[in-house]
């Protein structure tokens, strides 16, 4: 589906027509530049590669600089491919936040916040073992049994245990567009989206 690359600014809330306070996320969406055009003849599929957020040439590789010059633009930090644009885009064309309309629904994907090493209660929602009193020592947030000893004499793959949490690709679907501000390249969507502030997002229709 068609869409844009954006950057999460933060969260706020606005009042709708009925006077309800609606939580929303502020996203800087675009402008994105068409940096490459995929075609059926050359690549086996049709898509547009979009680039977002300028990168200094000093910190860019020669390959990236050359790739951007073909489109007549500066090197970009974030690239992504999108399909399904209604209009025919050309190399170097700019796609802005006015690609979206108020009231339509979008899917937003990004890298979730990294939580570091976490236990099973926080990571998997375990209830904990036993009670919190009557001589309970230190097993309240423990995972419990992870397998039998004599058979199968091993821990099965995929067992829910403590470990690193977050920093994964997450997609939140069907978020309603509440407001579009083309003069500031700002998009307001209802609810929360993955990632920390200033992280990059893919917004798809």
Tens-digit pLDDT profile for residues 115-137? 999 999 999 999 988 788 888 88
The domain locations on the chain are 3-115+169-204, 116-165
What's the rounded Cα separation, in Å, for the pair 205 and 191?
16
What's the rounded Cα separation, in Å, for the pair 46 and 88?
12
pTM for this prediction:
0.84
Strand ranges across the sheet with 94-95: 76-82, 47-54, 32-38, 94-95
Contact 82, 6 (CB under 8 A): no
Residues of the chain with confidence (pLDDT) below 70: none
Enter the CATH code of domain 3-115+169-204. 2.40.30.10
The candidate with the shortest Cα–Cα distance to 35, out of 78, 97, 96, is 78
What is residue 138's predicted lDDT score, i.e. its pLDDT?
83
The candidate with the shortest Cα–Cα distance to 170, out of 140, 200, 143, is 200
Contact 85, 64 (CB under 8 A): no
């Amino acid at each position: 589906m068609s869409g844009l690359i954006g950057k999460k600014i933060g969260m706020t809330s606005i009042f709708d027509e009925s006077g309800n306070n609606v939580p929303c996320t502020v996203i800087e969406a675009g402008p994105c530049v068409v940096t490459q055009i995929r075609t059926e003849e050359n690549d086996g599929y049709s898509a547009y590669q979009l680039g977002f957020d300028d990168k200094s040439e000093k910190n860019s590789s020669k390959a990236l600089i050359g790739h951007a010059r073909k489109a007549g633009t500066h090197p970009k930090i974030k690239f992504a491919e999108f399909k399904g644009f209604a209009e025919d885009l050309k190399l170097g064309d700019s796609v802005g936040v006015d690609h979206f309309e108020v009231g339509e629904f979008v899917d937003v994907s990004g890298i979730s916040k990294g939580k570091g090493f976490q236990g099973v209660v926080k990571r998997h929602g375990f209830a904990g073992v036993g009670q919190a009193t009557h001589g309970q020592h230190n097993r309240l947030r423990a995972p419990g049994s992870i397998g039998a000893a004599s058979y199968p004499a091993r821990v099965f793959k995929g067992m829910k245990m403590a470990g690193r949490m977050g920093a994964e690709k997450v997609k939140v679907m069907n978020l309603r567009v509440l407001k579009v501000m083309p003069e500031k390249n700002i998009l307001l969507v209802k609810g929360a989206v993955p990632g920390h502030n200033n992280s990059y997002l893919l917004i798809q229709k």
